[in-house]
Structure formats: structure tokens, C-alpha cells
Amino acid sequence: MPRRTGLTVRSVARGALSLLLVGAGVSHVTWGRRGYRIVVPGWATRLLRTDKDAIVVASGAAEVILGVAVIALPKERRRIGGAIAAFFVAVFPGNVHQWRTGRSAPGLNTDRSRFLRLFLQVPLVAWAWWSTRRR
């Protein structure tokens, strides 16, 4: 079967995912950095033997790298999509921690928004997985 070129729903979804990741990553290392420390559970700092700021910066850097890589490395798209999905799973405990502690972070300043944010993780994982697969 000949390979299609041009804009497809998957390629648009992949581009949007890339923009989301890069934007979130930049916010983690710039204006939102202080607020995102709230999301990091104490057990994560003990497990990783570092501080909350380092975890926020590292996760932001990972988001930027993954966001750029999913577009820049088309031959590795499936693996990168898997890595993005795994990243979304890995940060989920932070979202649970934030909801349980009731602490505000950028864009999540109500109990309702923090609770609803938990349900966003499944579509994010699915988005990463689907948009990086071939038909």
C-alpha cells in the first residue's frame, strides 16, 4: 500500500500533542516552576534523592524533549509515543497528591479542577499512543 503524505487527523493530533508538551515543559522551567513544586509528593523526593525543584525542572525538560522529538524524529515516532504515554502515567501520582492535599498549582486552584484533572490522564495517554501509531 502506498504511503500517504500530507495532513491527516493523526498528524494534526501529533502536532497538537507536541505543542502541549513543549508549552507545559516551558512553563515547568519558567513562570510555573514554583507552583508545580506543590504537585511533587514528598515520597518522590526521598525516592529520587533530590528536591522538588529538580523534579519539576527535570519533568519540564522531559516534556520539551518529548514534544520536540515526536515531530523531529518520525522514524522513532512509535517509541516516542510510548515514552510520552509512560511519562503521563509516571506523573499521575503527582496529580493524585495535589488533589488529596488540596493545594493549588497553575490552572488548578479549586478542588473541582484538581479532581477533574485526574480524569484527563487517560485521554492524554490515549492521545499519545494513538497519534504516534500508523493507521
Burial (Cβ within 10 Å: 0-12, 13-18, ≥19) of residue 2: exposed
Which pLDDT score, from 0 to 100, does residue 123 have?
A: 97
Which pLDDT score, from 0 to 100, does residue 7 have?
A: 81
pLDDT given at position 107: 80
Nearest partner of 91 among 20, 23, 32, 41, judged by Cα = 41
pLDDT along the chain (135 residues), means of 10: 71 96 96 89 95 96 98 96 97 94 86 94 96 84
* Gap between the Cα atoms of 62 and 45, Å rounded: 17
Answer yes or no: are the C-beta atoms of 43 and 50 closer than 8 Å: no
Number of helices (H) and strands (E) in the chain: give both, helices first. Answer: 7, 0
47 contacts 97 by C-beta, under 8 angstroms:
no
User: What does pTM read for this prediction?
Assistant: 0.90
Q: Is 10 exposed, middle or buried (0-12, 13-18, 19+ CB in 10 A)?
A: middle
Parse the chain into domains and list their residue ranges: 9-130
Q: In the structure grid, which three cell numbers stand for residue 119, read together?
A: 480524569
